[in-house]
Structure 1
């Protein structure tokens, strides 16, 4: 089981982006795109689950060529292995992301698009 929780702004000066404020407990189902369902900054699992899924794919994420979607890729891989993913709103963190202007958000949107494209190429089967 992978669990993720609420992500609130850590700094009121940051734009309200890359947060998840829902109070509804949910379980990820195959008909829902996993992007944003559980955010990587607030995700937990037992060590045995992590060992079963494997390492994060370094091509994804802020330091990789695909710039994002490392957490989404991880969730897709978990689901393909039959590992449940749930959102638990009482598990809350305060995320200090530092994005305070439109330009930073536009760059993040481009990075998300690139990462999601890579995610589709990696996982879509013909």
Structure 2
């Protein structure tokens, strides 16, 4: 895993899911993890300390993952816009992945996902400078 991957932001309204993601991140040696419950909190965390990767839920109260992804990609509030974003969702339908990509997500995983699927998405996201 690249040395640059030090800090992650988890954007997820379910505490159990945040815990699972945090455990997987620890396998990558990423122990500086900020847990947020919605897009608004995530934007604040990113303004305060940035991130090397973001794992984001789509459906959350407040600012959802799609809007947060769009704002990050727009570089709003001085946030670095090219941080790899893994969008995780239970949203069904063939267009969901295309919508996530159009918003700027690098990777898309469907809930419920396996640890293997999250691990693969993280490996892909962190395996190159572009996050793809």
Question: Greater Rg, structure 1 or structure 2?
Answer: 1
Name the one with the larger helix percent.
2
Specify if TM > 0.5: no
Compute the TM-score of the two structures, normalised by the length of structure 2.
0.31
Structure 1 length as normaliser, TM-score? 0.32
